[in-house]
Amino acid sequence: MEQSWGKAPAPSVIMDLSPIARLDGNARWELVDATVEAWRIQVDPAARFYGVADNSLYYKLDPKGRQKLGEWKRSRRARSVSWADPELLELATQFSDASVVTTDLFRDHRRTFPWLQGTTRIWKPVFVAGTIRFEQLDYSPIPAEEVSWRIEEANLTPKGFGGKEVRDALRYEWACTNTACLWSRKAVIEEDPAFKDGDVVCPSCSAPARRLAVRAGTKEIVFFLEDDEIDRIPLAERAELVIGRSRDLGRYDVREVLDGAAAARISRDHLKVVNRNGRVFAEELGSKNGTEFVAAEGRVVRLQTGIQQALATGERIALAGGILNLRLSGKHRPRGTYEPDLTTPPFLRNESH
Ligand SMILES: [Zn+2]
């Protein structure tokens, strides 16, 4: 298991931030705060919370909520990744005493995480008379054939569509073409695309999506505060990501995750990472406080401006003396699902024809 954990204390409650923030249908950080508060009052006043968010949650929150998510990352209490489910379950495997707060039954993950079958560790927040209560989720073991079917469903039918065109569309990365949509500010849409009249559209705004390179060539860049992971960002083939103090298209804005003094040590255009044919290169852009390349065996080299340094798994890039670190993920970019969990498998349906 490639799970990284730095200096943050071990969590006693692992939170699935996206469904919690969307408990009432909108995305509101207040619901995360209310869940934390309710757990402290009803279950454990000394609980240590750790949250995992989908990258898409950021785009659904209001500015205040985004700021709160950033605070959680800064204080090493949260990370944001393309798809939270497997990450959340890996952390729950690593911290086996922790409770998990989610609304999901993770039926398509029960083969990979067999401890889910019959577990009593998973709690669902529910509204009762204006306050949040916790209900133990029913993780009664389900039969192997249903687990297989859930996995198949999750892989083949995003947003209720089946068939070859969907599978073909999912082989590629997509970008949103609508400049009013928040996804257009990102190099790739970090959710599965949707379909309208046979065309691939942005899942958020329904504008036509632009096809990028094949997904198999996408790499993931993992950002760390020291050794604590805070962000994981997909980098499609031929795409580039500029890291610095700026918020434009194709940029990683360090002000989201560093406090004022630390962020000030990063230049506006500090470092660029590019994906060329599935290989990732880092290029120092002439920043004030520089960038170091740390080889797998620990050798440290200062990057020269304009020279592209190849980056392999196990190597690290340290910005401004290590205020922010990044690595290449050894994992493939995972793909999220569209909640097939709630449906009934055909062999359990009681239908007569
Ligand atoms: Zn869009």
DSSP states of 90-142: HHHHHSTT-EEE-S---GGGTTT-GGGTT-S-EEEEEEETTEEEEEE------
Cα 153 to ligand 1 centre (Å): 25
3-state helix/strand/coil string of 13-26: EEEEHHHHHCCCCC
What is the pTM assigned to this prediction? Answer: 0.86
Cα 286 to ligand 1 centre (Å): 33
DSSP assignment, residue 290?
-
In 3-state terms, what secondary structure has residue 271? strand
Cα 103 to ligand 1 centre (Å): 26
- Which one is predicted more confidently, 261 or 195? 261
Ordered domains of the chain (ranges, CATH): 13-136 (3.40.50.11980), 157-216 (no CATH), 218-328 (2.60.200.20)
Please give the backbone phi and psi of residue 145, each rounded to the nearest 5 degrees, phi first: -65, -35
Cα 348 to ligand 1 centre (Å): 37
State the first-to-last Cα distance of the chain, in angstroms, to the nearest integer.
Answer: 47
Cα 64 to ligand 1 centre (Å): 21
Cα 157 to ligand 1 centre (Å): 21
How many other CB atoms are found less than 10 A from the CB of residue 344? 10
Q: What is the mean pLDDT of the chain?
A: 89
Q: What is the pLDDT of residue 353?
A: 42
Cα 194 to ligand 1 centre (Å): 10
Pairing, β 240-244 against β 271-276: antiparallel
Cα 65 to ligand 1 centre (Å): 20
DSSP assignment, residue 9?
P
Cα 186 to ligand 1 centre (Å): 10
**How far is 283 from 343, CA to CA, in rounded Å?**
47
**How far is 286 from 115, CA to CA, in rounded Å?**
49
Cα 33 to ligand 1 centre (Å): 28
**How far is 341 from 54, CA to CA, in rounded Å?**
17
Task: List beta partners, residue 273.
Answer: 241, 282
Cα 169 to ligand 1 centre (Å): 16
Cα 335 to ligand 1 centre (Å): 18
Cα 344 to ligand 1 centre (Å): 31
| Least trusted range by pLDDT, from 17-21, 29-33, 318-322, 336-340 | 336-340
In the numeric block, the tokens 């990732």 are attached to: 280
Given a cut of 50, is residue 160 above it in pLDDT?
A: no
Per residue in 275-293, pLDDT tens?
Answer: 999 899 999 999 999 999 9
Tokens for 86, please give them.
Answer: 């497997």
Cα 175 to ligand 1 centre (Å): 8
pLDDT above 70 covers a percentage of the chain that reads: 90
Tokens for 18, please give them.
Answer: 């996206």
Cα 199 to ligand 1 centre (Å): 14
**How far is 99 from 119, CA to CA, in rounded Å?**
10
Q: Give yes or no for a contact between 270 and 287, defined as CB atoms under 8 angstroms apart.
A: yes
How many other CB atoms are found less than 10 A from the CB of residue 351? 6
Q: What is the pLDDT of residue 345?
A: 62
**How far is 314 from 4, CA to CA, in rounded Å?**
12
Cα 353 to ligand 1 centre (Å): 41
Nearest to 78 by CA among 138, 149, 136, 29: 29
Q: What is the pLDDT of residue 348?
A: 64
User: With the CA atoms of 290, 296, 298 and 303 taken in that order, what torsion angle do they form, in degrees rounded to the nearest 10?
Assistant: -20
In 3-state terms, what secondary structure has residue 294? strand
**Overall residue count recorded for the chain in this entry:** 353
**How far is 261 from 320, CA to CA, in rounded Å?**
12
Cα 352 to ligand 1 centre (Å): 41
Cα maximum dimension of the chain: 72
Cα 250 to ligand 1 centre (Å): 15
Cα 63 to ligand 1 centre (Å): 18
Q: How confident is the model at residue 162 (pLDDT cuts 50, 70, 90)?
A: low
Cα 173 to ligand 1 centre (Å): 14
Which string of b and e fits 40-51 if b means at least 16 CB within 10 Å?
A: eeeeeeeeebbb
Q: What is the pLDDT of residue 93?
A: 97
Cα 132 to ligand 1 centre (Å): 33
Given a cut of 50, is residue 337 above it in pLDDT?
A: no
Cα 179 to ligand 1 centre (Å): 8
In the numeric block, the tokens 């469903």 are attached to: 153
Cα 351 to ligand 1 centre (Å): 39
How many other CB atoms are found less than 10 A from the CB of residue 66? 16
